[in-house]
Structure 1
Amino acid sequence: MGKRQALAEYHRGSILAAAERLFSEKGTDRTTMDDIAREAEYSKATLYVYFQSKEEIVGAILLNGMAMLKKRVHQAIEGHTDWLEAYDAVCLAITGFYEENPTAYEAVMGGSLTGAEGSKSDQDIKRVAGEFCRELADFLERGMTAGTIRCAMAPMETVMLFWASVSGMIHMADRNADSLERQVGRSREEFLEDGFHMILRAIAQS
């Protein structure tokens, strides 16, 4: 990477980091390009050198988040030869990604905020999302081939149900972390671990 490209990537990263902070604090709808420029300590004119709109910034956050989550899940799958251990690692990778990158995670979950339909950014997001879902589907097929799990549903449908279940559980645990110990006698981490295993049992029996 040349110095000019490295500098451009640095500026883009600074802008995206500032935007993520504001989206987390104020929400995407209430954040303006003026807000992002002030938070990143750039002029608005400089901001527009790197991003033409707030939608493009959201799209970049989504693409980066999707690529990061895909990498973490890939590492979790490839880092364990035992399928059940890999499953636990995948769930922990998704949870860790949410804890460390809540704005990027929300962007991934709200994938409609991808910018202009048919744009290069939109195409890249769809490509990475497709690769991510395919890897999870292949992982499920591997578990079925090995006889570790049995599932009558198509792998891609199972992926969608798995993703919705895991994400919903993480959200619920995050919003009710203080009351979990009191109501069910489990910490947030213990609650999520129980939930992930419940999802696995549901998949195995479907």
Structure 2
Amino acid sequence: MLPLVTKRNNVHFLVMELSIKEIKEQEKERKRNYILDAAEKLFFSRGYDSVSMDDIANEVELSKAALYLYFKDKESLFFTIVLRGIKLLNAMIEESIKSCKTGVEILDTIARVYFEFVNKYPNHNRAYLYFRSDRFDIEDSEDMNEVAKEILKLRQDTFVITCNAIKSGIDEGLIRRDVDPVEVTVFLTLILKNLTEMRSDFIKLLEKRGIDKYQFFTDVAEFVHRMLMNTERGDAK
């Protein structure tokens, strides 16, 4: 006699099948993150070009063939690590600007958070700067790595937030009306980038004058304020 197959049994089997599938997906994600953690340490300590897929495979005790089941090549693996850092930065910015009431407050907060990120996660910042160097061809949109596209989109999101903050500052009468929001956003982006890549001889020169990197950042922020603020407004600071 054949076993009775009921609707309830079918549901039970479906739940079991889904559970097994979920367990497999969770295990795959756990393994993927384990690989990323190991590769991150290697890239951060040796540099991208000094690490091979063989090195990573040995570090995680996988065959090279098994490693390629998770990442198609070293570039994709590295880009995923860069993406980790950018997601972290964006999350820090989004959380910090929630309490901002004006465009100027948003600008100040973005700059402060970026500076905090660079000092707390210097390796992630260096990885991103290397990603944006001429080492990788990320400008060809047709052949661009999908992870690279996501990185650039997240950075563009921050650019748009900054640009909109400047527009708000202008509308609020706090920022000069004769400035172009896009131009100012590019300008601020370049300033922040160069602050994080300051030459060691400049750092030593400033330190001899009693100016550490935090003080220098504060002073630069004040210089930028004076350039952008609407001085015709009585309560502008």
TM-score by length of 2: 0.72
Q: 1:78 to 1:26 in 2, by over 3 A?
A: same
The aligned residue for residue 158 of structure 2 is: 132
Letter in 1 for 2:27: L
Deviation at 1:175, TM superposition (A): 7.7
Could you tell me the percent identity over the aligned residues? 25
Asked whether 1:53 is paired with 2:73, we answer yes
| Counterpart position of 2:132 | 111
Residue 53 of structure 1 and its aligned partner are, at CA, apart by: 0.8
Alpha-carbon spacing, 1:198–1:70, altered in 2? closer, same or farther (3 Å): same
1:101 is matched with 121
TM-score scaled by length of structure 1: 0.82
CA distance in 2, matches of 1:181, 1:74: 33
Compare 139-148 and 191-200 and name the one that shifted more.
191-200
Once residues 87 and 55 of structure 2 are traced to their aligned partners in structure 1, the CA distance between those partners, rounded to angstroms, is 26
Q: What is the match of residue 222 of structure 2?
A: 197
Q: Which amino acid aligns with 1:144?
A: I
AA partner of residue 111 (structure 1): R
Are the structure 2 counterparts of residues 85 and 132 from structure 1 closer, same or farther at C-alpha, using a change threshold of 3 Å?
closer
3-state SS, counterpart of residue 29 of structure 1: helix
Q: Distance in 1 between the 2:137 and 2:151 partners? A: 8
Q: Aligned equivalents of 2:132 and 2:47: distance in 1?
A: 15
CA displacement at 1:126 relative to structure 2 = 3.0
CA contact (8 A) 1:70 1:132 kept: yes
Instruction: Pick closer, same or farther for the CA change 1:42–1:160 going to 2, 3 Å.
Output: farther
Q: Is 162-171 or 73-82 further displaced after alignment?
A: 73-82
Among 54, 57, 76, the alignment partner of 1:37 is 57
Q: Any idea what the Cα deviations from partners look like across 1:112-141, whole Å, max 9, x if unmatched? A: 547783332233233223222111111121
Bigger helix fraction:
1
Deviates more, 1:21-30 or 1:111-120: 111-120
Counterpart secondary structure, 2:125: helix
* Contact 2:103/2:167, CA 8 A, preserved across alignment: no
Mapped partners of 1:123, 1:71: distance in 2: 18
Aligned amino acid, residue 144 of structure 2: G
Residue segments in structure 1 that go unaligned for 5+ positions in a row: none
DSSP 3-state at the match of 2:49: coil
Distance 1:83 1:133, change over 3 A: closer
Whether the aligned pair in 1 keeps the contact of 2:104 and 2:166 (CA below 8 Å) is no
1:79 aligns with 2:104: no
Shift of the 3–156 alpha-carbon distance from structure 1 to 2, 3 Å rule, reads farther
Residue 212 of structure 2 corresponds to residue 187 of structure 1: yes
Show structure 2 runs of 5+ residues with no match. 1-20, 231-237
Which range moved further: 68-77 or 106-115? 106-115
CA distance in 2, matches of 1:71, 1:129: 12
Q: CA deviation at 1:50?
A: 0.9
Q: How many residues align?
A: 204
